[in-house]
Amino acid sequence: MRYDDSPPLPESRSSISPDRPWFARRPALTVALAALAPTCLAGWVLAQVLTGSDSGGRQPEGMPLAASHTTAGSDAKASASPTPAPGTGPGTAASPAQSPSGAAAPAKGPLTGRTVVIDPGHNTGNFQHSAEINKQVDIGTNRKECDTTGTTTNSGYMEAEFSLDVSRRARALLEAKGAKVVFTHEGDRPWGPCINERARIGNEAAADAVVSVHADGASAGNRGFHVILPARVKGGAADTAKIVGPSRDLGERIASNFGRTTGSSPANYLGSGTGLVVRDDLGGLNLSTRPKVFLECGNMRDDKDAAQLMSPEWRQKAAQGIADGITGFLGG
């Protein structure tokens, strides 16, 4: 079927004058080119089949590039720049340089070669595992429950959620300074770990500093933060003689930086306004062989403190205060 906008049909042979062959009307050059065209086309198609590309090995336009993987020890090169790793939040600087295997290269900074252990207090699953966390464990000088549930705000925001969030924020800040950061848990286990295991993780990591992150559950009206320092204890597997001094230094630096960064005041209900408290009944401190402190960032049962603890912006400040205190302690 022929439409009005279709090109005219070729002249039929019957319309050619009988005294001249139909092909005689074409110039000799046209005939020669027509004869060569099929041969050239066939040659070009054969070249594409053999090379698999349109020119010089380039991928034809409009076709997606195949994924490129670089394996250690191979000579392969990626044909495109690697996709930058996602940042950790608003305002994040350009992603770190990529290693040959594609993984982010460790940051270099004032804490390069240092190991920090962060211990996010409690676990959101502890509420459903009371039998497990109530089992007694040896803390050297005594026996205590494996762990506790932690507290909540009056609206139900859990201490375990708070502590893990602040810990992760602090980790990002410390890793940016070159530190190796080890967690006692990532919130990916059903309950725990027990207090003796938390201490063991710090010891086995040969940590230069250990900080356990918490929030208090005192009565309303009690406000502010405090840092818990290890007392001098000895008994069984507990012997804090070597860590009492450096732990106090760590605690003082965290208290100073935490207060300045968050704008919070030292607790008004213990510590005589210093923000420092010494205790001999915490297994995580008694069993530690590395400088270690507990930080109670505020009182979840006080509405004013709770409002701060539930604020992501304030939690970032809290993490900054912790990271700055650790950095100062380690001489970074």
Active-site residue, 296 included: yes
Which residues have CB under 8 Å from 327's CB, separation 6+? 110, 111, 174, 177
End-to-end CA distance of the chain: 84
How far apart CA 254 and CA 322 sit, in angstroms, is: 6
Determine contact, residues 176/185, Cβ cutoff 8 Å. Answer: no
Is 282 exposed, middle or buried, given 0-12, 13-18 or 19+ CB atoms closer than 10 A? buried
Determine contact, residues 222/299, Cβ cutoff 8 Å. Answer: yes
Backbone angles phi, psi at 321, to 5 degrees: -60, -40
Q: Which residue has the tokens 């109530």?
A: 134
Measured CA to CA in angstroms, residue 145 lies from 134, 150, 196 at distances of 5, 13, 10
Which residues have CB under 8 Å from 46's CB, separation 6+? none
The active-site residue, picked from 132, 252, 296, 313, is: 296
Backbone angles phi, psi at 219, to 5 degrees: -75, 160
Token pair listed for 185: 């848990």
The continuous run of DSSP H or E covering 161 comes out as helix 159-176
Helices vs. strands in the chain: H and E counts, helices first = 8, 10
Using the 8-state DSSP alphabet, how is residue 43 labeled?
Answer: H
The continuous run of DSSP H or E covering 227 comes out as strand 226-230
Determine contact, residues 209/290, Cβ cutoff 8 Å. Answer: yes
Active site residues: 296
